[in-house]
Structure 1
Amino acid sequence: MGGWLSSYAPSVGGDSSVHVVVVGGGFAGITAARLLQDAGVSFTLLDLREAFHHNVGALRASVQPGFAVRTFIPFSKTFGDSFVQGQVQRVDRETQTVILEGGREFQYSHLILCTGMVGPFPGRFLTEASRQSGVRAYEDLLEQVQAADSVLVVGGGSTGVEMAAEIKSQYPKKRVVLIHSRVELADPGLMPSVRQQAKQVLLEKGVELLLGQKVSNLSELQLNVVCKNSEVQTDKGQTLTPDLIISCTGLKVNSDAYASGFFGSLADGGALKVNAHLQVEGFSNVFALGDCTNIKEPKTGYNAMLHAAVAVSNITNSLSGKELTRYQTGSVTMLLAMGPDDGVGQLNGWKLPRFLVAFGKSRDLLVWKSWSDMKQKQP
């Protein structure tokens, strides 16, 4: 079991038997790792990327030159030897061991699973990659966006809405069409008036909307590459001929790392069933956070970070014999950046003015906060 012992240090109350393994370095993972670090708890953070990806800024990185480099923040500069890059192959519950592809093993006293969602690029970037290759992937797409006269965005959830708005804000002369299978746009957890406002902003920017229609030949089409002759068919018999197609649909839980080890605790779609303390059903020392839980709430970075605070406090509480903290879902807080100058959203169930969302989130997409959380200086 070599590998984890090198960074193994006396932990809470000098208890060297405590070692937390955090699987996944998204918003939940880096928050959990930072809190464990601050509390002096021995931990290992595992992620297949070399750098934390501030994916709130992923869509801006696809359209604005120079932005991509700000969205990848090196793990090792913050966490040192407590970070290990690699793909988790499986979790062995019996030996309490996490096994990476290649065979390296990490034993845990407590396990935090926060593997997130998988989905199409550019909204998601879950690839074994260096920081440099991550930045390059977004710069390559940026070149394709710049070369296209017309862009079709497939999917009108929150990601698709933001993507269409970003392209049209940066390149107002390009034709941008958004197709969505439903009539309402954005996340169903948002208030109807906020969803309607998102539609209004897109129309003001000049985005063309095809609502209540699906692309019927998506699997045959080339994505993220300018292809002038591609024909997009809709289920209503319409044909579109965009230069570039970007998919913002088809998100699913990233359960590969834990599905075999925690088969009995899986909900529909591969999410993990958790209790009010965010413990995985049937395990007092295993926690799940963020997108891979079955909690009925919008899957946002904001909620993932709240989960992390509860899980880490419950690990330290359990070690010191204190009562465990409960996670309670509150009123939905969600902000949609619709280009650098506009946005819609709600805070704890209250609809916010557009200028406030633009000021609070849209200008730089909270990139500064992730650099600050990682205790590093922005380039």
Structure 2
Amino acid sequence: MGAQGSAVDRGDGVGGQRVHVVVVGGGFGGIAAAQQLKSRHIPFTLIDQRDAFHHNVAALRASVQPGFAQKTFIPYAETFGDSFVQGRVERVDTERQTVVLGGGQEIQFSHLVLCTGTDGPFPGKYNSLASYHTAINKYQEFVNEIQAADTVLVVGGGSTGVEMAAEVKTEHPHKKVILIHSRVGLADPELLPSVRQQAKEILLEKGVKLILGQKVTNLGDLEVNVTQKDRSVTTDTGSELKADLVICCTGQRINSTAYASSLPPRCLTESGELKVNQHLLVDGFSNVYAVGDCAQLHEPKLAYHAGLHAAVAVTNIANSLAGKALTTYHTGSVTMLLAMGRDDGVGQFAGIRLPRCAVTLGKSRDLMVWKSWRDMGQKSP
């Protein structure tokens, strides 16, 4: 390595500042970035408002299966020690190169990796400043609500709604499950038409009632996630139906609170995504990266992609410190798997439809919870 040593060994950063990477957000992209920084011996701090990583790919299973939720939360501190800080990032000061947390705490960075992800309604998402014990209890309470309901209505037929309806009907085959969707096509539009059709056929096979091309008009008046017998739900075609429990699976949005008020408007899209170049650097910056759902990239927002982004961002941080050329991220063919309950699944790999049995073995049975525990270097309970 020579007498000079590497930039990391010397502690040099941007403008001679000590190297310290701050990773904001501990979702799939954030923990992948943190693990790679750790393995490269690059000093870092991972910040998240929760005290545990949430394997939210399995959030819907945790909503229907008693005891499953504890497998979906993995404590950060046991993996990252003092390199983890629990808190909510209020803003990013790129001039002073600090992130400011609620309560006024400041953490300085030489490089910043924004992995703030998306937010949306519970149970698909759990983004709260809370302990994982609180989160596990909330999922258990939701399991109880589903058990108490005779008729469950899922609003939204994107991939989350499709998986939610399948999970409820698989765990409780005798309950009436209704899925209502404003469009005629189900699941993610990026999926092959044949895969989307398969998802529809499986829901029908399981006995889910589909109401497509209609919108719920009184959703704002309904208390979601709480069982209350025979509530009236109306649609924009004038139809009325009864449900005991309403689960909302719409309204996913970019979680941009940490940076929206402090980064230049040129960096952001209208939805709050961060504009990035081929190196995943945020527009106008040489030391700020965006990874995962908050990065504006023309591909579905998936945990799998977030991990790929993290590898590129961390490699580029290391390359910039070593004076090497930056690597480039290329979007590829869509790879996406939908768990249709624990016993079935549909999906595609690199644009090719997969057999249902392959998706069931690869994802649906355990939702790849084991992989996150392995990646975090911990043992699943």
Q: Normalized against structure 1, the TM-score is what?
A: 0.97
Paired residue secondary structure (2:347):
strand
> CA offsets per residue over residues 80-138 of structure 1, 9 Å max, x none?
00000001110111101100000000000000001011110000110111010010110
Change beyond 3 A, Cα 1:11–1:74 = farther
Q: Which runs of 5 or more residues in structure 2 are unaligned? A: 1-5, 13-17
CA distance in 1 between partners of 2:329 and 2:110 (Å): 22
Paired residue secondary structure (1:269):
coil
What's the offset of the Cα at 1:11?
A: 7.5
Verify the 8 A CA contact 2:114 2:291 in the aligned structure 1.
yes
Paired residue secondary structure (1:198):
helix
**Of residues 332, 335, 348 in structure 1, which corresponds to 2:334?**
332
Q: Give aligned pairs, total.
A: 370
What's the offset of the Cα at 1:327?
A: 0.3
What's the offset of the Cα at 1:13?
A: 2.4
CA distance in 1 between partners of 2:359 and 2:71 (Å): 21
**Of residues 272, 275, 278 in structure 2, which corresponds to 1:276?**
278
Verify the 8 A CA contact 1:11 1:40 in the aligned structure 2.
no
**Of residues 332, 349, 355 in structure 2, which corresponds to 1:347?**
349
Counterpart AA for 1:12: V
> CA offsets per residue over residues 280-320 of structure 1, 9 Å max, x none?
00001000011111101000000000000000000000000
Q: Write the mapping of 1:307-318 to structure 2, written as runs, cut at 5 A.
A: 307-318=309-320
Counterpart AA for 2:11: D
Q: 1:374 aligns to what?
A: 376
CA distance in 1 between partners of 2:344 and 2:375 (Å): 25
Paired residue secondary structure (1:274):
coil
Q: Write the mapping of 1:227-306 to structure 2, written as runs, cut at 5 A.
A: 227-262=228-263, 263-306=265-308
Q: 2:3 aligns to what?
A: none
> CA offsets per residue over residues 126-160 of structure 1, 9 Å max, x none?
01110100101100100000010010000000000
Paired residue secondary structure (2:286):
coil
CA distance in 1 between partners of 2:190 and 2:10 (Å): 44
Change beyond 3 A, Cα 1:289–1:59 = same
CA distance in 2 between partners of 1:61 and 1:150 (Å): 19
Counterpart AA for 1:184: G
Paired residue secondary structure (1:84):
strand
Q: Write the mapping of 1:27-38 to structure 2, written as runs, cut at 5 A.
A: 27-38=28-39
Verify the 8 A CA contact 2:7 2:322 in the aligned structure 1.
no
What's the offset of the Cα at 1:264?
A: 2.5
Percent pairwise identity: 64
Counterpart AA for 1:322: K
CA distance in 1 between partners of 2:292 and 2:27 (Å): 9
Q: Which runs of 5 or more residues in structure 1 are unaligned? A: 1-9
**1:14 and 2:15 aligned:** no
Q: 1:223 aligns to what?
A: 224
> CA offsets per residue over residues 244-275 of structure 1, 9 Å max, x none?
00000000101110011213300120100000
**1:136 and 2:137 aligned:** yes
Q: Normalized against structure 2, the TM-score is what?
A: 0.96
Paired residue secondary structure (2:243):
coil
What's the offset of the Cα at 1:328?
A: 0.2
Paired residue secondary structure (1:270):
coil
Verify the 8 A CA contact 1:177 1:209 in the aligned structure 2.
yes
Paired residue secondary structure (2:231):
coil
Q: 1:52 aligns to what?
A: 53
